[in-house]
Amino acid sequence: MQQYPPPPPPEQPGMLQQVQTPFAAAPHLQPGNTGSMQRVVLKYGLIFGLIIIVRLALGTAISTAFSQALPALAASNHLPLTSFALIFNLITAFYTLIDWVIYFLAGFFAARRLPQIRTAIFTSLWVNGCYTLVFLIITGISLFLITLTLPQYRDTMMGAYISGIITQALVTLILLHFIFGTAIAVLGGLLGARSANRIS
């Protein structure tokens, strides 16, 4: 009698390896592991910190080019400077919305990996730290260049102008990023943790 080979055993679930990307819906880690939280926070904090640095660098380059072309545009179009101030405000608002989207995504993906609200908070602090470091460097370079190009106003109008820039920088960092940015990251963290619990 001819003997046939036995059929192969059925594949067990979970034997296939899944290729995961930084933003894939990976199985979330168990809460309470401090080492796991530190790895998740560092990973997504640096990823989205790099993204927000690139946004800041591109935005600064575009704003600088626009400000240099401002006198020629005002002369050729016979427009008051208040119109260009409105354009600057709209550009700033657009950049702020992009930054808030970055904070939201950072909190979302971090909390989806480790479903805890503090994961989103600490991740947003890393993003804040990356933004603040580059922002202060750019602001310091800008102030230094201003004092070199306009030395005749150093003792009178320059002091008020520099103090205005510093005040605006502090408002941008504290209000728009540390307060609103962290709050938006927490909102993303809530949705990310809910998404992780639904997947599990």
> Rounded to an integer, what distance in angstroms lies between the CA atom of residue 163 and that of residue 145?
15
Residues in the chain: 200
Q: Look at residues 127, 114, 130 and name the one whose alpha carbon lies nearest to residue 34.
A: 114
- Compare 31 and 98 and report the one with higher pLDDT: 98
pLDDT(29) > 60: no
Percent of the chain with pLDDT over 70: 69
Token pair in block for residue 116 = 């805890």
- The dihedrals phi and psi of 149, each to the nearest 5 degrees, come to -80, -25
Residues 6 or more apart from 149 whose CB is under 8 A from it?
A: none
| Helix 117-149 with 180-199: angle, nearest 10 deg | 150
pTM of the model: 0.77
Q: Tell me what the pLDDT averaged over the chain comes to.
A: 80
Q: If you average pLDDT over each of 25-39, 47-61, 185-199, which comes out highest?
A: 47-61
Kindly report, residue by residue over 74-114, the tens digit of the pLDDT. 667 776 766 767 878 888 899 999 999 999 999 999 999 99
- The conformational region for residue 178 under phi > 0 = left, psi -120 to 50 = alpha, else beta, is alpha
**Half-sphere CA count of 181, side-chain side, radius 13 A:** 29
| Domain boundaries, given as residue ranges, for the chain | 36-199
State the average pLDDT over residues 166-189. Answer: 91
